[in-house]
Structure 1
Amino acid sequence: MATETEIKLSLSARAASALAKQAMLSNIERQRQLLINTYYDTQDKRLRRERMVVRHRQKGRQWLLTVKTAPMLTAGLAQRSEWEVPSRPGEFDFSHIDGGVRDLLESLRDDLQPAFTTHFMRDTWLLEPHAGVRIELALDRGWIEARGQRQTIREIELELLAGEVGDLFELVAELQASLPLHPESSSKSERAYRLLADLPLTAVKALPVPTEAAMSRIGAFRLIALSCLNHLQNNEAGVCRSDDPEFVHQARVAIRRLRSAIRLWQPLLPEAFVARFDPLWHDLASKLGDTRNWDVFLAETLPALADAPSGRIEVERLLRHARRRGANSRKASRSALRSTAYSRLLIDFSAAVLALPDDAAGSLGGFVPRCLDKRAKRVKERAVAALGDDDVARHSLRVAFKQLRYAVEFFTPILAGPVLVNYHQSASGLQDLLGRLNDLAVASQLVAEAQAGSKDQGIAVWLAAQTDSLLPELASLLKDFQQQPLPWKAL
């Protein structure tokens, strides 16, 4: 078994044509070969569920049988187990595979059938940027074919043959200085399965993070941060190609979770790391936040204004204004995620996260209670002011509460138990209400902007009345939440 470590990057047709002209490749011989791959799975897609790949590759006159595990891609980086041996098409000899994987494949051997194919020309260069470092750069251009449909393949793969993961990221950064390269968020096989199922783009929520009490504190941060990047990248295409508001919402959630993790671990992180990256993520979140505000205003607030003491003409004027501002904001969000600055941020941040030195001072188990106590105390301190007539105080409470809830979610595998279930249910109700109050506060700001110079205050008065009507419920939910036993006290 070998461990394959590679970074995948997508690029435009123009950038692909320019790659061979890069100075770093000028004195290196290029190899070119046509690769035709047939991927196999069972009828019920068992291998996909197990996150495994089985394929036959035709490479000139040679045939290879390849088995890979299929971890999530983060900033284009994949590290996975790989087994590859000479074979013949249609034959499956798994005797060289390690125990558990081999047992599964042996049990499925008779049910394996062709699922889809990939067909591409591969240009490769063998790079040795430093002593002891060898990296294969491959440019793939061709297509995926599934269910009679084709999808273009145009990507770079940088495979680490000798050296450290940081050497891969250094090479990517050097390439990005002159070429628009974006970390690929899905493998060829993942894209093929979507094509095979003819699946529409759908927004992706955060997956549970498998933290463990025995983990090092920095090791846990690394796992959580990369998971947040994966969550963000899984919604990139939707933000750029769909008007469905949920894509922007999930992209914002991913960045908020990431920034919450940075703040949670800030005492343990290098000062330069926080100073460099937190402002960049904050800036991106702000661009997406404006789009999210107009989405909520159009989808939820404006329909409710039918009950407001204002004429139909005024509501229609607000609708036109909101649509125009929302469309402009969405263009800005798409530009942000298509920018070279964003592509470089993904690479630079991932490299910096992977380069963080592990701490030997203590395990995650001892770190969790102190962090959660601090965030629970902050929520309690801000709760009193939030019950008054102060939108800023309620926003401050909402921020503190989100930071607490995200932290609890990061540590859920460590905290599992009935106390956590009750705590989570109470927290969910409180977060929903804080979200509604925040939407009303934002709506008031947007209405004031749209009605600048107008004497009609009917809508503003109605929005204020809606806020006031929710404050008794906020007081009740806060009281219930603060009476819940803290699920980390048993640690």
Structure 2
Amino acid sequence: MATETEMKLSLSARAASQLRRHVLLSGVPSQRQLLINTYYDTPDCRLRSERLIVRYRQQGGDWLLGVKTAAQLSGGLAERQEWECPGRPGEFDFSHVDQSAVRDLLESLRDQLQPAFVTRFQRHAWLLEPRAGVRIELALDCGTIEASGRRQPIREVELELLSGAVGDLFDLAVALQASLPLHPEARSKSDRAYRLMLDTPMTAAKALPVAIDASLASISAFRRIALSCVNQLQSNEQGILATDAPEFAHQARVAIRRLRSAIRVWQRHLPAPFVARFDPLWQELARRLGGVRNWDVFLADTAPLLSAAFADRAEDQAKVESLFRYARRRCTSNRRAARAAFKSATYSRLLLDFSAALQALPEAKRGSLGDFVPAWLDKCTQRVNQRAAEAQQGGDEARHRLRLAFKQLRYALEFFSPIFAGPVLQNFHQSLTALQEQLGHQNDLAVAMQLVVEALPGRRAEGVHGWLAVQSEALLPELEMLLEAFRRQDAPWSAPSS
């Protein structure tokens, strides 16, 4: 068994041509070959569900049977296990797989395996040795994915680490990106091929659980969680660029909020320059998405309520119709700005630079999750209780601050949830979720009031603004009940799992 560590970067046709003449490749001999890869799976795609890949690769007159574990890409980086041996297409001998659980599964499925899809591409490869002890294969792949009678282009750079450290991969990627528009890839060739084969519609990617435990080193846990957030963000890129569906922008924004919350949780464990450099950059990207989200929510949720409320009042109905037209224009312009941000070299650099900085974070000499999680969650809860008291005496701004405090507590609890067990965690999380949703509704109404003033300047906004304020006030009794229920919850971190 070998561990494959590689980075995938997408690029344009023009950039692919420029890469071949790049100064870093000057004088380095290259190899060119046609690679034809046939991937196999069962009719019900069992291998995909088990996150395994089986393929035959044709290289000239040779055939290689390959087995890989499927890895998520975060910032373009993937690390996975790989087994290869010579073979003949259609014949499956898995005796070379030295991990018994994987081998037993493959052998049990052997008779069900059938061709699923093909990738066919020209590979230009260069072996680079940027410093003593470091060897990296740089491969430029250009070709197609062929599945279910459909095709999709392949144009990407693969950097495979043959010897050296992961940081060496990032050093090379950053050096290349300085003069070429390279973007860290979010999906592997096989993942894209499955989507093509199954004609799977794009769906917004939500946050996935991260495997951590109380004994894990603090920085290692942060790295896993941060990379998971980056993966969620990148998994929503194409939906933002190719569709107007609001959920993609929403989940991308959630990914950034979760990432920034993680930075807050670990701030005293992180180098100050790391926080000072990256937190403002993520905040700016979230701001770009915030405009899209605000107008999306207004059109989808608030606008129908306004239309119904003012249906019998001709003068106010005219205002509402004018408001809708303005909202649609703003929604379009904000979505255009968000797409420009996601297409920019600035975003591509942020993904790569942040992922590189994550890998370079020094491990703390001491300190595991179990050392600081309870104290941090206690601090979050104290902040929530303080802001809850302020919100009960204040207005929209105080409730907004309370919502942010609840959100930070909820994200932190989700990060650490594998450490805790039992119904106490579930009840606490449900109470948090209910409060965050309630405060979210009130925040949507508060934002809607601001948007109405923007769209209908002067006294034109009075009737609509006043109606929205009444709706917000009507939610306050339920907020009081939810806060009281939350105060009665036991803290799940007071009894960590064994």
* Both proteins in one fold, TM over 0.5: yes
Name the structure 1 match of 2:340: 335
User: 1:360 offset after TM fit, Å?
Assistant: 3.3
Residue 80 of structure 1 corresponds to 80
* Kept in 2: contact 1:138–1:156 (CA 8 A): yes
- Structure 2 equivalent of residue 186 of structure 1: 187
Deviation of 1:100 after TM superposition, in Å, equals 1.6
The 5-angstrom pairing of residues 278-427 of structure 1 reads: 278-306=279-307, 307-308=309-310, 311-427=316-432
Q: Which residue is 2:457 aligned to?
A: 452
In the other structure, the counterpart of 1:109 is 110
SS of the aligned residue for 1:362 comes to: coil
1:377 aligned partner, one-letter code:
Q
Matched residue type, 1:355? A
Contact 1:127 1:137 in 2 (8 A): yes
* Residue identity opposite 1:165 in structure 2: V
Equivalent runs, 1:68-217 vs 2, <5 Å: 68-98=68-98, 99-217=100-218
Indicate the residue corresponding to 1:437 in structure 2: 442
Aligned letter for 2:390? A
Give the aligned partner of residue 26 of structure 1. 26
Residue 456 of structure 1 and its aligned partner are, at CA, apart by 4.6
Secondary structure of 1:202's counterpart equals coil
Name the SS of the counterpart of 1:345 in structure 2: helix
- Letter of the 1:225 counterpart: A
Partners of 2:417 and 2:192 in 1: how far apart? Answer: 31
Alpha-carbon distance between aligned partners in 1 of 2:371 and 2:111, rounded to the nearest angstrom: 49
CA offsets, 1:149-176, max 9 Å, x none?
Answer: 1110110000001111001001111111
Which residue matches 2:479?
474
Aligned counterparts of 1:213 and 1:330: Cα–Cα separation in 2: 41
Aligned residues: 491
Q: Distance in 1 between matches of 2:389 and 2:474?
A: 17
d(CA) in 2 for partners of 1:158, 1:363:
33
Q: Tell me, yes or no, if the aligned pair for 2:377 and 2:409 is still in contact at 8 Å.
A: yes
Separation in 2, partners of 1:428, 1:389: 22
* Equivalent pair of 1:387/1:474 in contact (CA under 8 Å): no
Q: Give the distance between the partners of 2:175 and 2:86, measured in 1 at CA.
A: 35
* One-letter amino acid of the structure 2 residue matched with residue 188 of structure 1: K
Contact 2:120 2:143 in 1 (8 A): yes
- Post-superposition offset of 1:93: 1.2
In the TM superposition, residue 426 of structure 1 has moved relative to its aligned partner by: 1.2
User: Any idea what SS the aligned residue of 2:432 has?
Assistant: helix
- Tell me the SS of whatever aligns to 1:169: helix
Give the stretch that moved more between structures: 443-452 or 359-368. 359-368
The offset of 1:132, in angstroms, is: 1.1
Structure 2 Cα separation of the partners of residues 89 and 199 of structure 1: 28
Tell me which moved more, 383-392 or 296-305: 383-392
Secondary structure of 2:342's counterpart equals: helix
Output the amino acid matched with 1:170: D
What does residue 2 of structure 1 align with? 2
Shift of 1:18: 1.1
Q: Given that residues 216 and 360 in structure 1 are in contact (C-alpha distance below 8 angstroms), is that contact kept between their aligned partners in structure 2?
A: no
Determine the C-alpha separation between the residues in 1 that align with 2:421 and 2:155: 44
Q: Could you give the per-residue CA deviations for residues 463-488 of structure 1, whole angstroms, max 9, x where no partner exists?
A: 11111111111111011011101111
The CA deviation at 1:210 is 1.2
Mapped to 1, the partners of 2:280 and 2:374 lie a distance apart of 27
Q: Which amino acid aligns with 1:265?
A: W
The whole-number CA distance in structure 2 between the counterparts of 1:365 and 1:92 is 46
Task: For residues 228-254 of structure 1, give each alpha carbon's deviation from its aligned partner in whole angstroms, at most 9, with x where no partner exists.
Answer: 000100101001111000000000000
SS in 2 for 1:246: helix
- Alpha-carbon distance in 2 for matches of 1:330, 1:402: 25
Between the aligned partners of 1:372 and 1:110, the Cα distance in structure 2 is: 52
Say if 1:287 and 1:333, in contact at 8 Å, map to a contact too.
yes
Q: Distance in 2 between matches of 1:415 and 1:465?
A: 41
Query: What is the SS of the residue equivalent to 2:435?
Result: helix
TM-fit CA distance, 1:454? 3.5
Give the residue type in structure 2 aligned to 1:13: A
* 8 A contact 2:453–2:461 mirrored in 1: no
Instruction: Give SS of 1:411's match.
Output: helix
Distance 2:461 2:88 in 1: 78
CA displacement at 1:387 relative to structure 2: 2.2
Aligned partners of 1:67 and 1:174: how far apart in 2? 32
Structure 2 residues without counterparts, runs of 5 or longer: none
Give the deviation of 1:389 after TM superposition: 4.3
Note the residue ranges of structure 1 that are not aligned, 5 or more in a row.
Answer: none
- 2:237 corresponds to which residue? 236
Identity over aligned pairs, percent: 64
Partner of 1:60: 60
1:79 Cα shift?
Answer: 0.4
Q: Distance in 2 between matches of 1:45 and 1:365?
A: 39
> Distance between the aligned counterparts of 2:290 and 2:392, measured in 1?
25
Task: Indicate conservation of the 8 Å contact 2:391/2:399, yes or no.
Answer: yes
Rounded Cα–Cα distance in structure 2 between residues aligned with 1:404 and 1:425: 13
Equivalent position amino acid for 1:449 in 2: E
CA RMSD of aligned residues (A): 1.0
Deviations 1:398-451 (A, max 9, x none): 111100000000011111211011111111111110100010110011001111
Runs of 4+ in structure 1 deviating by more than 3 angstroms, as ranges, are none
Kept after mapping to 1: 8 A contact 2:4/2:79: yes
For 1:23, give the aligned amino acid: V
**Which amino acid letter does the alignment assign opposite residue 415 of structure 2?**
F
Q: Deviations over 1:303-325 (max 9, x none)?
A: 11121476211111001101111
Q: What SS does the corresponding residue of 1:141 show, helix, strand or coil?
A: strand
How much does 1:146 deviate? 0.6
Alpha-carbon separation, structure 2, partners of 1:456 and 1:42: 60
Residue identity opposite 1:318 in structure 2: L
Q: Which TM-score applies when normalising by structure 2?
A: 0.97
* Cα offset, 1:453, TM superposition: 2.7
Q: Tell me the secondary structure at the aligned position of residue 311 of structure 1.
A: helix
Whole-Å separation in 1 of the counterparts to 2:223 and 2:238: 24
Structure 1: which amino acid aligns with 2:43?
Q
CA contact (8 A) 1:74 1:229 kept: yes
Q: Within 2, Cα distance between the matches of 1:216 and 1:8? A: 28
**Whole-Å separation in 1 of the counterparts to 2:21 and 2:202:** 35
Alignment check: 8 A CA contact 1:232 1:254 kept: yes
